[in-house]
Amino acid sequence: MDGTSRPLLGTLSDILGSLEAHHLTHEGVNRLRILTRHPDRWAPIQPAGWSVDVAWCSPRQGQGRLPYRPDAVIKDLVENVTKATAYILDVLDINGPAVDDVSTWLLMLDDCSVDVGSQVYVCVDDGLHKSADLTRWSTILPRVILPSESTHQPREASFEPSKNEPISESVGSLQPELDAHEIQHLTRLPIAFSPDALRRRIMQWRRMGFDVSDLESALVQDSEDRERIYRHVEENVRRAIDLDRRLTMMAEHLPATDVERDRFRLRQLTGLDQIESSLNALMD
């Protein structure tokens, strides 16, 4: 497991099936770490080809216990001192029992997945959780799909930053060389993109610092409304990136407080017209 995958939701049977399928197709040592409030129920779990380490997450201190806190679990995932190649998280209610609490936890896991070097599974129970709740959580993290259930899907567009995106505005003598670490455009999503592609794009934009909370509602819309909402936000993000570049170019000609204020507004995707007018006036 290469550490590039997002966390996956799955029932115990589906997770074990995925682990055993991985063992059949990969050589080497496979180490599974289970983080749970209920270590006894995991004692008999032994996927073929995996060594298993069960960690007890508990609010009470004790030798070998992991604090039952979101930050402690995430630290365990990121530091991975046991060299686990896969994790099972049986701590769905670590933020609280409400549906929104679980959703917040899943978003936290998704945000930190870029720093996690192993596959992470979040254990759910179709018989315990309401189908509406499972559907909602599945809009945040994808479900486990066993190899036999996989179907060929058209490849989606790459999400690598575009390094050749032109800047159409001419700023004359005010234009310096672009900084190599400047925000880059992401390639546009293709027409009829999947909800999973949209989830990844939301995470990418959030990591770039943009407030794209308006896109959360698009995840549960039909394909037409999802496309309409996304294209509107995408245009604002692309416009904000170009304005951010212009702001960087002209920063030395503006008060530092104005630059910081406008950068914050650009990340919030607000006041774009006003910022553009101010920059145009500076060029006149």
Average of per-residue pLDDT across 7-20: 90
pLDDT band at 147 (very low <50, low <70, confident <90, very high): low
SS (HEC) of the chain: CCCCCCCEEECHHHHHHHHHHHHHHCCCCCEEEEEECCHHHHCCCCCCCCEEEEEEEECCCCCCEEECCHHHHHHHHHHCCCCCCEEEEECCCCCCCCHHHHHHHHHHHHHHHHHCCCEEEEECCCCCCCHHHHHHHHCCCCECCCHHHCCCCCCCCCCCEECCCCCCCCCHHHCCCCCCCCCCEECCCCCCCCHHHHHHHHHHHHHCCCCCHHHHHHHHCCHHHHHHHHHHHHHHHHHHHHHHHHHHHHHHHCCHHHHHHHHHHHHHCCCHHHHHHHHHHHHC
pLDDT in tens, 89-133: 999 999 988 888 899 999 999 989 888 989 999 999 887 888 888
pLDDT above 90 for 218: no
Domains detected in the chain: 8-149 (3.40.50), 161-283 (no CATH)
Mean per-residue pLDDT, 245-258: 88
Q: Does residue 156 register a pLDDT over 50?
A: no
Question: pTM surpassing 0.75?
Answer: no
